[in-house]
Structure 1
Amino acid sequence: MTAPAPTRARWLPSRWPADAAGRKNMVLLVQLRWIAIAGQVATILIVHFGMGIRLPVLPMLVVPCIAIGMNIGSLMIVRGRTDISHAELFLALLFDVIALTTQLYLSGGATNPFISLYLVQVALGAMLLHHWSAWGIVVVSAMCAGALAFTYRPLDLSELLEGRLFDLHIVGTWICFVMIAVLLVLFMTRINRNLQDRDTYMAQLRQHAAEEEHIVRMGLLASGAAHELGTPLAQLAVVLGDWRHMPEVTRHPALVEEVVEMQAAVSRCKGILSGILLSAGEARGEAPTVTDVRSFIDGIAQDWRGANPDMPLRCDFGPHDYPRIIADPVIRQAVTNLLDNAREASATYINLMVSRDREWLHIAVRDNGRGFSPDMLVDFGKPYRSSKDRQGSGLGLFLVVNVVRKLGGRVDASNGADGGAMIQLRLPFATLALEEVNDGA
């Protein structure tokens, strides 16, 4: 089933793990290490064979080989996990500091212009690590840089190069500066993006927590309302049932019609109470029943037509076979809420469309009403967001979204190209189906 919708909004629980920033930042460190490996190998070969500065090539090439092993191990860890701990990031940066120290020790120590590359590790530590561990990287880097001023392997320079040592140092310092600037811009912007994604995720968590707190408060209020209103409504329904069969009433068709209307009003009040109780995750104490999808949806449609005889409602199941399901009453109330919203959106007809694939049951309510405003699509599923100008409106969709979320599903909202709106519920068969779902969709 597809929706002719140029404008769409989707509400579903965020699946971005809280520590995904750590995983992404570890990937960035691996990428930076690949660049460092390539740069080290190229520099060693150019300096030794191209410039005639004799370096201990074999020991210096061992360090990139170890770094390659470190990268392979890091990638295997990253692929098998969804989060990376803070300690692992600290150890990765500490390895890079030690590797840089080893290379500098073998190539002139503090006299090597590339000693400023310690600043890259310090900057990364400041961005990625907690306060104490960031200072740990600073301390380790400072100690290593200080030690290289006293302990290092001097460069083996030819007589020709000794006279140009200062010029070579200036050129090396400039190259190091450019490298640091480029690396910081490239990687800091990406790290900032990862941290912003994490902050956005945390903001969503706080929003969800606030909504859950709101639901809990509504649930407590709904429980009190159930105790206060349930018994009087039941008594009123019994009294009206008795009146309907009394001879004094049955002899007057007008009185019979009024009693029927009052019974419908009492039934409507019970339905409203059930809608409020959705916030508590129940529907007036009713237990789930085992049925098939067609019977379940047909029952919802028939009940709604009985309460809204002036509104055309068409059901479309498509050419699908449906499994038997455990029909939770909250699903019935959620679909009823969507039908009520469509009726209140100035629609002249409503389509209730059902389809399925292997994993999901799709239930969509399509109308030809005024549709959703752009602001409504942005805030879809949030409480008290409604186009109806009355106090307390907007809870219907909010409750529907939370019911579907609790069942492991999701809700899509869209506007049709020719007007009207469609809201589609996607419910997982893993939660609903009583039997194994086949591919006969």
Structure 2
Amino acid sequence: MDLPSSIRIVRLRWAILSLCLLAGGALYLGAVELPWPALALVACSLASANLVWSLAGPARWAALDIQLGVDFLCLTALLYLTGGPANPLVSMYLLLIALAAQAMPATRTWLLAAASMLAYALLFRWHQPIMVAGEHSDMLISLHLAGMWLTFCVCGIVLAGPLARLSRTVRERELELGRIRETQLRDEKLVALGMIAAGAAHELGTPLNTLTLLADDLAERYAGDPELDDDVRLMRNQLGACRRALGRLKQQGGELASPAEPVSQQLGHLVANWRNLRPQIELDYQPALATAPTRWFDPSFGPALLNLLNNAADASPDGRITVQADWQAPILVIRIRHAGSLPPQLELTHPAMPVASSKQHGMGLGMFLAHATLDKLGGTLRMDSDADGVCTTLTLPLPTSHVVSPP
């Protein structure tokens, strides 16, 4: 049983009983002849049932269909004793059906609706008419109109709340479905890129081995040539970086996390590896991680950071970038700064698809993967442009439950 709906119905029942008591007092003072003992019995029966449900607590309440069934019987008895279809309270049948439609299965709702329509029809044939003393006969129309207004007010107040909640629930569900579709689209794209990366790693293995052998042969052949020695050393370093990257890709394919190391040490390794890949870029690394803990980094974080560094290096007009790493417990904040301006076509608000690249032959996959990775890890990615250049800020929460304190 829907607990919030049951609480509202019990409270609504008390409110309607109170209004009926006030209306009954007004009718009694107005010299309206009604079967007062029978009406009192109906009211006391409904009040007793509601009192039992209230005192028993929500866990022991009767099923909602039983409660609405009792309401239906009491309302039908009340209408039979007070004029039948001429009683403005006959509209309360609609209120019962609306409450049932909100909280009960469709079959039981239709059953209650059919019973209400049948009872309404039978009241035309069987009911006790309202009798008013002769000197007060002109009050009957006024009482009927007042009852219609009161019934309308009760139904309007009761229905406005559920309908507003239903509308809000539908809107929230549509937004949630939109987020789910966006996440599913992003995940499908990531899976496709992962398959492409796995195939590329397999295909690159043989060419890298061949180039490594050629580089070793050149190093031996021109060992005494100072002009070629630096170039051969750089070539071997680049090939070594490529082989290590492929090795990490194969190794992390079946791992859940990288080994636990201090955050400062892991970031230092990532920056050093990137320097080997882009030695022509002047990188100013400014870590402020003295209080950062030891913990496990998700394997996907490293490639995401390298993609951001590559984007900054490609966009920097002077070939210089600055990386600032700060520990703001429990969040790691990394800022990547470079000269230039932020391309107007670059959007980071919708990471479900690759963003537009500002490079001539770029596909925007690097920024897409970085944004998707940080979003998956609970982090954020933001790019800002000012007079000093472009600043890419990424945040990565490191929950204390996953932190391993350094020795």
The alpha-carbon distance between structure 1 residues 114 and 424, as it changes in their structure 2 partners (threshold 3 A), is farther
Partner SS state of residue 39, structure 1:
helix
The alpha-carbon distance between structure 1 residues 281 and 430, as it changes in their structure 2 partners (threshold 3 A), is farther
Q: In the alignment, is the contact (CA less than 8 A) between 2:287 and 2:324 conserved in 1? A: yes
Residue 354 of structure 1: aligned partner: 326
CA distance in structure 2 between the aligned counterparts of 1:345 and 1:127, rounded to whole angstroms: 57
Q: In the alignment, is the contact (CA less than 8 A) between 2:262 and 2:406 conserved in 1? A: no
Moved more, 304-313 or 154-163: 154-163
The alpha-carbon distance between structure 1 residues 291 and 216, as it changes in their structure 2 partners (threshold 3 A), is same
Decide which of 341, 348, 360 is 2:311's aligned counterpart.
Answer: 341
TM-score, normalized by length of structure 1? 0.70
1:195-214 correspondence runs (5 A)? 195-214=170-189
Partner SS state of residue 370, structure 1:
coil
Decide which of 135, 141, 158 is 2:113's aligned counterpart.
Answer: 141
Decide which of 71, 87, 97 is 1:100's aligned counterpart.
Answer: 71
Q: Which has the higher contact order (CA 8 A, sep 6+)?
A: 1
Deviation at 1:355, TM superposition (A): 0.9
CA deviation string 1:366-413 (max 9, x = no partner): 32553475971321x33311342556622223323444455x533242
- The answer as to 2:366 corresponding to 1:415 is no
Partner SS state of residue 382, structure 1:
coil
Structure 1: give runs of 5+ residues left out of the alignment: 1-21, 78-87
Partner SS state of residue 426, structure 1:
strand
Deviation at 1:35, TM superposition (A): 6.0
Deviation at 1:137, TM superposition (A): 0.6
Deviation at 1:51, TM superposition (A): 3.2
Deviation at 1:43, TM superposition (A): 0.8
Deviation at 1:191, TM superposition (A): 0.8
Moved more, 102-111 or 199-208: 102-111
1:129-278 correspondence runs (5 A)? 133-147=105-119, 150=122, 159=133, 164-244=139-219, 246=220, 248-266=221-239, 269=242
Deviation at 1:361, TM superposition (A): 4.0
Q: In the alignment, is the contact (CA less than 8 A) between 1:283 and 1:330 conserved in 2? A: no
The aligned amino acid for 1:252 is: D
Deviation at 1:365, TM superposition (A): 2.7
* Aligned alpha-carbon RMSD (Å): 4.2
Seq. identity, %:
20
CA deviation string 1:202-225 (max 9, x = no partner): 232223223222222222222222
The aligned amino acid for 2:109 is: I
Partner SS state of residue 378, structure 1:
coil
CA distance in structure 1 between the aligned counterparts of 2:68 and 2:256, rounded to whole angstroms: 64
CA distance in structure 2 between the aligned counterparts of 1:126 and 1:61, rounded to whole angstroms: 24
- The answer as to 2:291 corresponding to 1:315 is no
Deviation at 1:291, TM superposition (A): 1.8
Deviation at 1:240, TM superposition (A): 1.3
CA distance in structure 2 between the aligned counterparts of 1:372 and 1:124, rounded to whole angstroms: 55
CA distance in structure 1 between the aligned counterparts of 2:255 and 2:50, rounded to whole angstroms: 67
Deviation at 1:40, TM superposition (A): 0.8
CA distance in structure 2 between the aligned counterparts of 1:350 and 1:285, rounded to whole angstroms: 31
Residue 73 of structure 1: aligned partner: 58
Decide which of 316, 326, 337 is 2:296's aligned counterpart.
Answer: 326
Q: In the alignment, is the contact (CA less than 8 A) between 2:258 and 2:298 conserved in 1? A: yes
The alpha-carbon distance between structure 1 residues 352 and 199, as it changes in their structure 2 partners (threshold 3 A), is same
The alpha-carbon distance between structure 1 residues 403 and 98, as it changes in their structure 2 partners (threshold 3 A), is same
- The answer as to 2:48 corresponding to 1:62 is yes
- The answer as to 2:360 corresponding to 1:385 is no
Partner SS state of residue 250, structure 1:
coil
CA deviation string 1:73-129 (max 9, x = no partner): 28x99xxxxxxxxxx9xx64x356325314413422454423323334545666777
1:279-294 correspondence runs (5 A)? 282=252, 288-294=258-264
The alpha-carbon distance between structure 1 residues 189 and 136, as it changes in their structure 2 partners (threshold 3 A), is same
The alpha-carbon distance between structure 1 residues 417 and 308, as it changes in their structure 2 partners (threshold 3 A), is same
Partner SS state of residue 312, structure 1:
strand
Q: In the alignment, is the contact (CA less than 8 A) between 1:404 and 1:427 conserved in 2? A: no
Deviation at 1:67, TM superposition (A): 5.9
TM-score, normalized by length of structure 2? 0.76
